[in-house]
Amino acid sequence: MTTIPTETRQPGKASLLYDPKIRGYAYQILLLAVVGFLVWSAASNAIENLRAQKIASGFGFWHNAAGFDVNQKLIPFSASGSTYGQAFYVGLLNTLLVASIGIVLSTFLGFFVGVARLSSNWVLAKLAMIYVEVIRNLPLLLQLFFWYNAVLKPLPDARNSIALPGSIFLNNRGLIMPNPQFGPAFQAVVVAFFLAAFAAIAFYIWSKRQQERTGKQYPNGLITLGLILGLPLIVYFLAGQPLSFDLPQQGRFNLTGGLQIYPEFVALLIGLTTYTAGFIAEVVRAGILAVSKGQTEAANALGLRAGPTLKLVVIPQAMRVIIPPLTSNYLNLTKNSSLAVAIGYPDLVQVFTGTVLNQTGQAVEVVAITMAVYLTISLVTSLFMNIYNKRMALVER
Amino acid sequence: MTDATIENAPYAFVRKETLPQESPPLSVAGPLAWIRANLFSGPVNSLMTLVCVYIVVTSVPDLVRFYLIDAVWSGANRDACLADKVGRPVGACWAYIADRFQYFIYGSYPIPQRWRVNIVFAMFALGIVWLLWDRMPLKKVGFFFFFVLLPISAYLLLLGGPAAEGFLRTLLILTFALMAIYLVLSFVPGLARFWIGPAFLAVEEALPPWKRFYRVKRLILLSLVVLGVIAILADSAGLPRVDTGLWGGMVVTFLISAVGIVFSLPLGVMLALGRRSRLPIIQFLSVVFIEFVRGVPLITVLFMANTMLPLFVPQEYSPDRLLRPLVGVALFAAAYMAEVIRGGLQAIPKGQYEGAMSLGLGYWSMMRLIILPQALRIVIPGIVNTFIGLFKDSTLVTIVGIFDFLRTIEATLVDPTWATPTTRATGYAFAAVFYFLCCWGMSRYSIAVEQRLAAGQRR
């Protein structure tokens, strides 16, 4: 009987060079060193260059007098008495204004076009397709130039304004509309509106519960409409109509009075709305197509008609697909509103990264603040998006 | 016996006589029925159809008349496009486009030197066709051509001057040296054992000398041919320096897009791998970079590149005015590319990773040989879409003062030589056609690739 000598083999001790853990540490330390070196050399160069160019650093400029004027402003701002800090807020508010209106309008237009592309109406579907293809395949900047330089600029000058019904005038300085003047009693109307909105929401919740318990349905839409329109109207008349209009007057050379909407704003709004609507239309179309045909057929088999099928079965499921890309389109719209600088709308980039940067020369601070603003908007939105996604995600077993 | 005839059947609901025949439906097939079913199926639908038809009828004839029928096709200056000079209603002034066409393509690039741009255009077209057309052979050589040789040649040819010629000389010497090394290696393959594993070396050694290392050798040969041609051109015609301030038009638009794709793709791959890495610091830095860049508008990145980049480097290395937005665009595109590629990496089933690891492949071999070829292939449509966005966004460099195609159009619009009421509409229409054709063509390509990739899933 031969005994085979059992060789006790130790697992070969690999050299440290091949230990994945050690390698991992080494890579990371190397990367940190490279990034650290880049940051350090950039910072030291920046300090050196700024000193050579005699540019101040720090945020002291925030309280310095601005010395320029801005045409469209939502808060008081003047060349003589305002600071760069106030200019920042003027720009930020203008950005938020055009972005929020643009988001609302592009959502409506986008949903309409998206549904139209799926319509059985051949002419409508083709027209919607042409719209989407053209809008999505042209640079936004070209579209903005088109709206501003080719559509709004050639409008007649103030003396030959186009008069529209309702004391609205259109000329190359923009759209001049009656300026609503709110009397002090108008607050009551605002309060009534919010009360009505709350009441409508409460009624909606109550009616939904009622329906789940008893099966009885209530005319939700009509009652909501009645509450939200009716209550403020009643209060408005009870308070003695506390709303008057400052009508624009056609003078010899110019229009006086009224509310002026600047062509830059209109061009940017139209451009952003139509551009983003093209993308939203595709999102909506994809969302609706993502709901499988079996769902519609099952709803039909249960006896639901076309309207309730869409409202109760297709749209709730499509929304789950639509909402995330829709939000990123809203973010894109907000970021794209920075193209305002090309047509001179005083948004954050135009006022702050343009004029303020040129006047102070403090590139690092100004660009950092601007980026921080956009970054905050993006991150907050994606935070809410993640919360929403968690709530809406399919609960799987 | 009951007679079970129809007459005395016990069932009251049995019909006793045949119904009169219905008249045949008016039309269930044919164009008329189609129109009724698709265009006028209800009041809302009918209204929609009428509105759409109204829009088409009112706009299309006007557009056709403006851009085609009433258009002016030739002329030397604005007089050709003024209605009172010509004596008829004047539409689009295509004569202006024809007159300025060279400027739209080359910007202010000196006329005697424009052949250099044409060579780069031709190489670019060759590279694009090589990479995108699936019947073209030698894809790997194509990648090398597009991502290494093309940028170098474009730099040498477009910029020129002593610096570029010095660089060209160095490159030529390097290439010759490499070729010499590989010639020696072909006959004495044992020398390569310092950087090639024994298994691979054994394969090479089994081949006859001229076939050894043929993958490397053909790349060197291609570089030698390309660089040699450039050197001959430089020698015979000379490559005087053309300052980037003179570049403009479609050259710059294509340059920005090409730089964007050439640099953003490898950078994007690295960032995507970094984001999926298990090493916390690498992952953190990748995530921060990607989310930061994706959270800010391109304009602010361009402003940053334009104003802060010169601050971050020593004064004597202050980057060229064209280089700054190029850096900005490349970094911006890289972040978006990284997210697209990450999508592809995530779509690869885990078994592929495990299979590669069980074969004993290390991280980089696994990624290079197994994962990335599959991941990149499935995200080609996404990459093309990102590229379309990049191409459209290249117009934004206008804002930081670079003369791209759109800017050259804007520049000619203020030129009194062609100042007519219809010039602007013509210029914008030309720009629109250019961008539409490029973007639409790319999106068609991406759809075609998508369909080809989905062929396996089709039932």
pLDDT in tens, A27-36: 889 999 999 9
Q: Are B399 and A24 a contacting pair at CB < 8 A?
A: no
Integer angstrom CA distances of residue B452 from B133, B158, B380, B457? 12, 37, 11, 10
For the whole model, what pTM was predicted? 0.85
Q: What is the pLDDT of residue B307?
A: 85
Q: Which positions ≥6 away from A84 have C-beta within 8 Å?
A: A61, A62, A63, A64, A66, A356, A359, A360
Answer yes or no: do B89 and B129 share one domain.
Answer: no
Final residue belonging to a domain, choices B215, B241, B267: B241
The count of CB pairs under 8 A between chains A and B is: 151
Report CB contact under 8 Å: A139, B304: no
Kindly state whether residue B20 falls inside one of the protein's structural domains.
Answer: no
Contact across the interface for A367 and B299, Cβ inside 8 Å: no
B218 and B72 assigned to the same domain:
no
Q: How confident is the model at residue B1 (pLDDT cuts 50, 70, 90)?
A: very low
> Among the listed ranges A80-89, B143-152, B438-447, which one has the minimum average pLDDT value?
A80-89
CA distances in angstroms from B441 to A135, B125, B385, B408, listed in the order given:
15, 14, 11, 23
The reply to whether B17 falls in a domain is no
- The Cβ-side half-sphere exposure at A195, using a 13 Å CA radius, reads 12
Is B438 among the domain residues?
no
Tell me what pLDDT residue B45 has.
Answer: 82
Let me know: does A128 contact A281? Beta carbons within 8 Å: yes
B25 occurs within a structural domain: no
Tell me whether residue B445 is in a domain. Answer: no
What is the enclosing helix (H) or strand (E) of A170?
A: strand A168-171
Asked whether residue B35 falls in the same domain as residue B72, the answer is yes
My answer on whether B194 and B294 are in the same domain is no
Q: Taking the C-alpha atoms of B113, B115, B121 and B122 in order, what is their torsion angle to the nearest 10 degrees?
A: -160
Q: Which residues of A347-376 are buried (b: 16+ CB within 10 A; e: fewer)?
A: bbbbbbbbbbbebbebbbbbbebbbebbbe
Do B164 and B235 lie in one domain? The reply is yes
User: At which residue do the structure tokens 């007057």 appear?
Assistant: A249
Q: What is the mean pLDDT of chain B?
A: 86
Which residues of B are less than 8 Å from A119 in CB distance? 48
The minimal CB distance from B48 to the residues A124, A134, A353 is found for A124
Question: Does any CB of chain B come closer than 8 Å to the CB of residue A283?
Answer: no
CB contact under 8 A, A46 and B312: yes
Instruction: Work out the average pLDDT over B121-127.
Output: 91
Dihedral sign of CA atoms A260, A263, A265, A266 in order? positive
Q: What confidence tens digit (pLDDT) does each residue in A223-276 have? A: 888 888 888 888 888 877 777 777 777 766 677 777 788 889 999 999 999 999
Say which range, A47-61, A80-94, A296-310, B164-178, has the weakest mean pLDDT.
A47-61
Residue count (chain A): 397
Burial code of A289-317, b = ≥16 C-beta within 10 A, e = fewer? eebeeeebeebeeeebeeeebbeebbeeb
Residues B186, B282 within the same domain: no
Beta bridge partners of A43: none
User: Same domain, yes or no, for B293 and B280?
Assistant: yes
**Residue B426 domain flag:** no
Residue B239 contacts residue B112 (beta carbons within 8 Å): no
- Residue B55 is part of which domain span? 31-95
pLDDT at residue A210, as a whole number: 87
Residue A79 CA, distance from chain mean position: 29
Per-residue model confidence (pLDDT) at position A9: 55
Which uninterrupted H or E stretch holds A177?
A: strand A174-177
Q: Which two tokens stand for residue A307?
A: 């309207």
- What local confidence, expressed as pLDDT, does residue A176 receive? 82
| Helix/strand/coil for B249 | strand
Given pLDDT bands bounded at 50, 70 and 90, which one contains residue A1? very low
Do B233 and B283 lie in a common domain?
no
pLDDT in tens, B61-70: 989 998 888 8
Q: Examine the pLDDT at A309 and tell me if it is beyond 60.
A: yes
List pLDDT tens digits, range A122-168: 888 999 999 999 999 999 999 999 999 888 888 887 777 777 777 77
In this structure, are B152 and B181 located in the same domain? yes
pLDDT score for A11: 57
Mean pLDDT of A330-336: 92
- Using the 3D structure, point to which of B46, B67, B95 is the last residue of a domain: B95
**Domain contains B279:** yes
pLDDT bucket at B388, cuts 50 / 70 / 90: very high
CATH number at residue B286: 1.10.3720.10
Output B6 or B14, whichever has higher pLDDT. Answer: B14
Dihedral angle, C-alpha B388, B390, B395, B401, nearest 10 °: -160
Cβ pair B122, B114 in contact under 8 A: no
- Pick from B101, B103, B104, B122: which is nearest to B233 by CA? B122
Query: Could you say which residues from 201 to 260 on chain A have a Cβ atom under 8 Å away from some Cβ of chain B?
Result: none
* Minimum-distance CB partner of B282 among A27, A49, A349: A27
- Which pLDDT does position A388 carry in this prediction? 82
The complex scores an ipTM of 0.85
Separation CA B46–CA B38 (nearest Å): 9
The C-alpha atoms of residue A256 and residue A246 are separated, in whole angstroms, by: 10
- Helix (H), strand (E) at residue A256: strand A255-256
Q: Do B299 and A357 touch (CB under 8 A)?
A: no
pLDDT tens digits, B291-307: 999 999 999 999 989 88
Residues B177/B162, Cβ–Cβ less than 8 Å: no
User: Testing the interface with B: which of A48, A141, A338 to mutate, by most B Cβ within 10 A?
Assistant: A141
| Same domain, yes or no: B140 and B58 | no
| Closest CB to A374 among B53, B300, B315 | B300
Tell if the CB–CB gap between A123 and B53 is shorter than 8 Å. yes
Q: Which of B198, B225, B241 is the C-terminal boundary of a domain?
A: B241
- Residue from B49, B52, B250 to probe the interface with A (highest A Cβ count within 10 Å): B52
Tell me whether residue B423 is in a domain: no
Which residue on chain B is closest to A369 by alpha carbon? B300
Q: What's the domain count of chain B? A: 3
CB-nearest partner of A52 from B297, B313, B315:
B315
By Cβ distance, the residue of B299, B311, B428 closest to A341 is: B299
Looking at the structure, tell me whether residues B37 and B148 fall in a common domain.
no
Q: Which residue has the higher pLDDT, A117 or B215?
A: A117
Q: CA triplet A235, A241, A242: central angle to 5 degrees?
A: 100
Find the CB nearest A150 among B304, B428, B439.
B428
CA B439, CA B428: separation in Å to the nearest integer?
A: 16
Residues B300, A353: C-beta atoms closer than 8 Å: yes
Whether residues B272 and B181 fall in one domain: no
Minimum CA–CA partner of B389 in chain A:
A139
The CA-based dihedral angle spanning residues B434, B412, B418, A146, taken in that order and rounded to the nearest 10 degrees = 60
pLDDT at B3 over 70: no
